[in-house]
Structure 1
Amino acid sequence: MVSGDSKNVQTFRKSLETDPNKSTGLAAIETLYDVLKNTRASTAGEFQDELGNAVKEMLTTDYSSTSIRSATNLFRKFISLAPVDITEKTDFSEILEFYRKRGVTFIERVSRSRSLISKYAKPFFRNNMNILTHSYSKVVLSALHEAHECGIEFHVWVTESQPDASGKRMHEALKSLGIETTLVLDSCVGYLMERMQMVVVGAEGVMETGGIINKIGTLNVSIIAKTLNVPVFVMAESIKFVDEYPLNQEDIPETFKYRSSVIAKNNLASEHPEVDYTPPQYLNLLITDLGILPPAAVGEELIKLYT
């Protein structure tokens, strides 16, 4: 943890450092739940301000702002969905107790997301498949591990995913699990694609369009796959569903494209974006904890999540 961090940022960082396999979104939700447990707010307005300030503080870190924003928005919406007999109580402490129960329920659901995705993904894996993945994704790693544990043998080709070489982390993680894997240059995706039976990627955020925000280069991989008729599957928790409707790369908010410390330099013209937007036409299916969805279904699911 960084000296001088606020209490909320310290809680957030500690949650991720204690469990390296935890998602950014879940850590953000647990941080808001910590605020909920300890709040002394006497009105709904005061309490919402506390939550809003906690979110702003977490967004100053260099963790994915896309994941933080989507997860915390859904958490705040979920806990506040209360029946009239609760919301009309004059004692705000009783309303907070209801919120706390809802918060526990939400965290329990999110904690099961990865195992549900692995369950839904398993039928897509077959023996002797060549699978291409890009960058490092905890949920993709979990699904591949689950399929391998069930006795399915396949070979995973992992792009280096420059400029941070996050694919090397994925490659090493796969090797440690006993999964056959090869690390490849980003520039050889076109050369390799005709040998692949499937492309599997994670996502920092699933947009209302059904497209995804993910590590830079995901768009390149998906376009090549589409051209060569190789299916592209996205694995993402529903807490990554974002109420944004980008139509092109320019529509991606700067806070999604760059980390907080980079934006603070105030010289983005010389910076390399960390993510790109892959439109839905290049994706076949989204494998989520809500089930297997076509990209076109994301908008409807977002409406359900936010109402």
Structure 2
Amino acid sequence: MSEGTKPETSQLTNKELKELKKKEKAAKRAAKKESIGIKPDAPQRRGGDRPKTASNIKKQINQSKTQSETLKIPPLFGHLETREQRISSTPPQLANIVHPSILTLCLKYSTFKIVGSTHRCQAMLEAFKDVIESYKTPEGTSLSRHLTGHLSHQIEYLKSARPLSTSMGNTIRWLKQEISLISIDETDEQAQLILTEKIDVYIKEKIEYANIAITDSTIQHIVDGSTVLTFGHSQVLLHIFKHVATELNRKFKLVIVDSRPLFEGKKLATELSGYPNISCQYIFINSLSSILQEPVDVVLLGAHAMLSNGRLYSRVGTALIAMSAHKRDIPVLVCCQSIKFSDKVQLDSVTMNELSEGQDLLTMGSKPTKRNGFALEQFLKEKRTQKEEESKGKKNSNNNNNSNSNGVSLTKPEDPLANYREIDNVTILNIMYDLTPPEYIQKVITEVGSLPPSSVPVILREYKGNSSNS
């Protein structure tokens, strides 16, 4: 009976054996994808049999337009990813397994509702708490093994909005290490409770308590009647200025230097304008040389990252302010938490940087341009071209109505750079960060004390040692 019901492999030909092995491998791959949470793909057709559906045509159009946008970037910055490239490189299967909190956070990142390295890191940890609390371990695996891969999919989707900051990268490595230390015997509820508590402790120690420690080390540089200059917005600097004005009751003048396109300094000026002890002065960075002719006691700067060769990686414009202050013998102090320290070495701001939308530099308002999805943007562009073609005939007939008796046009002049993407010899480059050499920085103030920029590797060794021992 067993011989009649079970086919013998020896009776199969070589061709049939190969097909049988292929089917077994495909079944294993599909089972593995289902365990992760990705739906198995439909069986692929051969290249010649693939139908030219509307979705395939749209994908080809989007890819060709992404390549044409890449050609507009100067070759020196051609290795930096644009927003369109990040979106197009994101696997479409991720949308099925991304948590709603990650989707919301991704939208806030891309629209710059959440800006700043520390603020982005804290918001990411809060979203990860929601992911962990709603997580259920699939059968046949353990939480310490499967949750790491599940979080990796959420992180990949976050990268499509904006590249990860240094503090976010350090925090992700810490969280994955903590997940790997969870015992197999722990239930899902116990493991979720342990991880969420560790995230809360991490936020308090590395962000909140770090801000308090940095404040205690910085307040000695702000005395009654002093003039402080800062650039943009920093969470730790905001905490310092509030503490000096309220707890120490010191009166000082604060010069806030700002730049386009994010106008982060406006947020700092708005939050500090209600404090009577702080006299705020708001200027743009093009007026920096004029304001530095007046007496300035100290320059306080925030940081996106401190590199191991002592260079400061921060919002573009920071290097100009530090260099101008150093030239006039004004001390430049950088306030930076240890989670922003990086073991990378960088000599210029070209090798690694973030390339944002060039359209943001053309907006005259106080907020960046609202960003549509890439597919929606292409759809709107096609509709615009159709309207322009339809209105060509109407413009000729209305020329007499738009001119007065002297022949002067009464219509509003168009922005010559409105369609800069279609102009071949015009390129608008929006770089987010620059690099400040260590000789322009007097000292770096962290939660472990004040130190010169050359001592950054020492903090990195201690930070890694403490994280590995814990």
In structure 2, distance between residues paired with 1:284 and 1:216? 20
In structure 2, distance between residues paired with 1:252 and 1:75? 20
Does the alignment pair 1:184 with 2:283? yes
Q: Is the 8 A contact 1:207 1:246 kept in 2?
A: yes
Does the alignment pair 1:106 with 2:264? no
Q: CA 1:20–1:221 in structure 2 vs 1: closer, same or farther (change >3 Å)?
A: closer
> Where does structure 1 lack aligned partners over 5 or more consecutive residues?
none
Match among 257, 278, 290 for residue 436 of structure 2:
278
Q: Please state whether the residue corresponding to 2:431 is helix, strand or coil.
A: coil
1:122 CA displacement:
1.2
Does the alignment pair 1:193 with 2:351? no
Q: Corresponding residue for 1:30? A: 126
In structure 2, distance between residues paired with 1:231 and 1:61? 36
Q: Corresponding residue for 1:157? A: 255
1:79 CA displacement:
6.2
Match among 210, 233, 252 for residue 352 of structure 2:
252
Larger Rg: 2
Match among 417, 429, 446 for residue 288 of structure 1:
446
Q: Please list the CA deviations of residues 204-233 of structure 1 after superposition, one character each: whole Å capped at 9, or x if unmatched.
A: 222233322222111000111111111111
Equivalent residue letter for 1:185: F
In structure 1, distance between residues paired with 2:107 and 2:261? 27
Q: Corresponding residue for 2:70? A: none
Equivalent residue letter for 1:296: S
Match among 211, 219, 241 for residue 144 of structure 1:
241
Match among 115, 129, 137 for residue 226 of structure 2:
129
Q: Please state whether the residue corresponding to 1:299 is helix, strand or coil.
A: helix
Q: CA 1:278–1:176 in structure 2 vs 1: closer, same or farther (change >3 Å)?
A: same
Equivalent residue letter for 2:125: I
In structure 2, distance between residues paired with 1:193 and 1:163? 23
Equivalent residue letter for 2:335: M
1:276 CA displacement:
1.1
Q: Please state whether the residue corresponding to 1:122 is helix, strand or coil.
A: helix
Equivalent residue letter for 1:140: L
1:13 CA displacement:
6.5
Equivalent residue letter for 1:292: S
RMSD: 3.6
Q: Corresponding residue for 2:153? A: 53
Q: Please state whether the residue corresponding to 1:249 is helix, strand or coil.
A: coil
In structure 1, distance between residues paired with 2:317 and 2:351? 17
Equivalent residue letter for 1:104: D
Q: Please state whether the residue corresponding to 1:180 is helix, strand or coil.
A: strand
Give the share of equivalent positions with the same residue, in percent.
Answer: 18
In structure 1, distance between residues paired with 2:449 and 2:108? 27
Q: Is the 8 A contact 2:122 2:203 kept in 1?
A: yes
Equivalent residue letter for 1:184: I
In structure 2, distance between residues paired with 1:74 and 1:303? 16
Q: CA 1:18–1:108 in structure 2 vs 1: closer, same or farther (change >3 Å)?
A: farther
In structure 1, distance between residues paired with 2:324 and 2:213? 29
Does the alignment pair 1:168 with 2:326? no
Q: Is the 8 A contact 1:257 1:276 kept in 2?
A: no
Q: Please state whether the residue corresponding to 1:23 is helix, strand or coil.
A: helix
1:240 CA displacement:
2.3
Q: Is the 8 A contact 2:332 2:440 kept in 1?
A: yes
Q: Please state whether the residue corresponding to 1:270 is helix, strand or coil.
A: coil
In structure 1, distance between residues paired with 2:182 and 2:452? 36
Q: Corresponding residue for 2:333? A: 233
In structure 2, distance between residues paired with 1:53 and 1:302? 28
Q: Give the count of matched residue pairs.
A: 295
In structure 1, distance between residues paired with 2:124 and 2:131? 11
> Where does structure 2 lack aligned partners over 5 or more consecutive residues?
1-94, 358-370, 378-420
In structure 2, distance between residues paired with 1:304 and 1:122? 25
Shifted more, 155-164 versus 93-102: the winner is 93-102
1:99 CA displacement:
4.0
Q: Please state whether the residue corresponding to 1:176 is helix, strand or coil.
A: coil
Q: Corresponding residue for 2:10? A: none
Equivalent residue letter for 1:204: H
1:44 CA displacement:
3.1
Normalized per residue, the structure richer in strand is: 1
Q: Please state whether the residue corresponding to 2:260 is helix, strand or coil.
A: coil
Q: Please list the CA deviations of residues 240-274 of structure 1 after superposition, one character each: whole Å capped at 9, or x if unmatched.
A: 22332211122223xx3537x79x89x89532112
Does the alignment pair 1:219 with 2:319? yes
Q: Is the 8 A contact 2:148 2:176 kept in 1?
A: no
1:198 CA displacement:
0.6
In structure 2, distance between residues paired with 1:270 and 1:143? 36
Q: CA 1:101–1:285 in structure 2 vs 1: closer, same or farther (change >3 Å)?
A: same
Q: Please state whether the residue corresponding to 1:230 is helix, strand or coil.
A: coil
Q: Is the 8 A contact 1:28 1:72 kept in 2?
A: no
Q: Corresponding residue for 2:136? A: 40
Q: CA 1:251–1:91 in structure 2 vs 1: closer, same or farther (change >3 Å)?
A: same
